[in-house]
Amino acid sequence: MTDHKSNSSENSVEQNLAKDYVPKSKLGNLPIANQIDDALKEKMDKTQKELEKLKDELTKKYKYIEAMGIMPAQAAKKIEEEYEISEEDAKKELIHILAIIPEKHFKNIGQVRLDAIETAKKINEKFWVHVMTPVDFWNLGLDSKFEVMEAIAMSYPIMDKTFLSHIRVAQIHKSLVLKKFEKYVTSYVVGGSITTGTTKKDSDVDTIVIIDDTDVKRMPRLELKEKLRGIIMSYIQEAEAIAGVPKNTLNVQIYLMTDFWEAVKDAHPVMFTFIRDGVPLYDRGTFLPWKSLLKMGKIKPSPEAIDMFMAPGNKLKETVEKRIFDIATLDLFWNINTPTQGLLMLYGLAPPNVYETIKQFREVFVEKEKLVEAKYADILDEIVLKVWKAYEHGKLKPGDIDGKELDRLTKNALDYIKRLNELREQIEKRVQEKSIIQIYNDVFGMLGALLKKKSEAAIIKEFDEKIIQEGRFPPRFLDNLKQISKTKTAVEKAKGNKGKKKDNLTTKQSRDVDNARKLAVEITDALVEYTQRCELASMEKSRFIIKGKTMEAEVFFLPNTFIIQNQKIQKISGEKLVNATPKELQEQLTEQRNKETKIDFNAIKTLKKIFGEFDLVY
């Protein structure tokens, strides 16, 4: 348990850095911990003993409390809105105190909260205690409540085992980066041990900055990345100094959005893991959708990626014969663990870590699907845990295993790899049977929604009359659509009716499924492009520009009048502008498609009251 303290010279340096670099947030100028100490010093002197007393009493009773801090006064309104503090209580100018307890003690959170509030009220009636777990904090990011996260991260620590300092340094670095490069940054994400709850005393804070390079026109993408990288990395030391944490606490990785996505499609385990465990401190609608898609199983590795994971196993015998014990032991581990991860991904699971790989292999392929004999799960367990992990942790040394034992392990591993290759064929056949159903549903689902038809016959008829015959798509698309339907029917027939078991797909049927997949991709891409063109035409028809002496904004005359200024979306409500969401705007644009656009002159009068005189440009 450590308290965050800084001497006066450190305060001066940190205040100067904060003055120059800490950006304005939607909550106002949120000060860092040391600035709170200076700005509220006089007021804090009166309550210091009371705060110490509260800390001592709570931590004595609940020794597992990880951190306590005073939330910034500037963020009081946002905090009170989030946690539904009554207007009557808010008028008391409450001092909001945060207490963090471990997730494993979540079941006690109600009792801790009641005790904390009762204890706080006895000491000072203005004390208001919020009790949460780290998971509660990360859930704010998953709900896009970035302002509330910012307020909590800037809490002045009364006591802190590491959690507050870790989220504070990431928050400060994010602020420095956004101040300089907000238009290029699409996501700032925290991941690793801090979000999974496995931090240790010397753990670092892993973050990823994703740069949007999809709209770069005048500068090569790699040049953009390198320019931003140098400055973003230079902010690390500044953030660590401002947050008052040791050097090398913050570990920042920088990716172009296109490169990051390519790595995900290639099934890079680091990217899968970061999407799975990561939580955004800032996101412009990119990272959270990826996270949802991964959770739904929509982000899947390519066949080439599966081949890449499986390939090392086929070279196992030659490798073991050529290497000495320590290298051979390493190869045994990687050449069993990696193909196993590949098959788990082929089955539809995200790449797991070492311990989860062993657990999932047994649970999925031995116990649930009953595709593999239990002895192969035992082989995986022995080589990964009893040999490699023991060797890695220094519990097993080369002299502890003789050549005979090494031969036995190698033979088991080769047997295991052979069985994995057989298992791959079994899984791929199952996947093919399921994939044609998914292909069919995706294509006919999109066309059904576009053409407003439900049955297959009606969709094909409407597609021919309204799309093909009017020249929007080439005639072969109609034949391709029928081929997808034919393949799906053939596969279902091969599987049999009423539970009768049939042979697996023939080679011809497998080729037909692969061909249907290619045809579906072509049709789907064309449908997406066609839909986007329709939406763009509808958007342009409703879009106007207003230009004043000191402002310029986009205006959309829809059932509501929307205005976009500085990437902020608002709509007219009565005589004022209120915040709106991209989803609201998109829904009304879709609703207005193919309808006549009318200028709302009452809305123009309202806008002139707000912005003054301006010109309306189509």
If phi over 0 gives left and psi between -120 and 50 gives alpha, with beta otherwise, what is residue 367? alpha
- Give helix 374-381 / helix 325-347 axis angle, nearest 10°: 130
Please give the distance of CA 72 from its chain centroid, rounded to a whole number: 27
Q: Is the alpha carbon torsion for 502, 504, 509, 515 positive or negative?
A: positive
Annotate 481-543 with three-state secondary structure. Answer: HHHHHHHHHHHHHHHCCCCCCCCCCCHHHHHHHHHHHHHHHHHHHHHHHHHHHHHHHHHHHHE
CB 351 within 8 A of CB 267: yes
pLDDT of residue 315: 67
CB 149 within 8 A of CB 140: yes
Alpha helices in 205-322 (DSSP H): 221-243, 257-265, 269-277, 287-295, 303-310, 316-322
CB 447 within 8 A of CB 463: yes
- Give helix 221-243 / helix 163-181 axis angle, nearest 10°: 140
- Beta-bridged to residue 25, according to DSSP, are 28
Distance CA 467, CA 464 (A): 6
Structure-block tokens of residue 359: 């657990």
* C-alpha distance from residue 567 to each of 211, 532, 542, 582 (Å): 17, 21, 18, 10
Question: Taking CA 517 as the corner, what is the angle to CA 515 and CA 519, rounded to the nearest 5 degrees?
Answer: 70
Structure-block tokens of residue 1: 């348990």
Q: Could you give the strand order of the β-sheet that contains 127-132, starting from the edge strand earlier in sequence?
A: 127-132, 95-100, 67-70, 156-160
The DSSP output letter for 31 is -
Q: Looking at this protein, which amino acid is placed at residue 282?
A: Y
Give per-10-residue mean pLDDT for the chain (618 aa): 37 34 47 51 74 92 93 83 82 88 91 91 90 93 91 90 93 92 90 89 90 75 81 92 91 89 75 88 91 80 65 61 56 85 82 84 87 91 83 74 79 91 77 72 83 86 87 87 85 60 60 80 80 64 81 86 86 89 80 75 86 82
Structure-block tokens of residue 548: 């004043």
Distance CA 156, CA 146 (A): 18
- Beta-bridged to residue 615, according to DSSP, are 547
CB 252 within 8 A of CB 207: yes
Rg (CA), the chain: 30
pTM higher than 0.75 for the full model? Answer: no
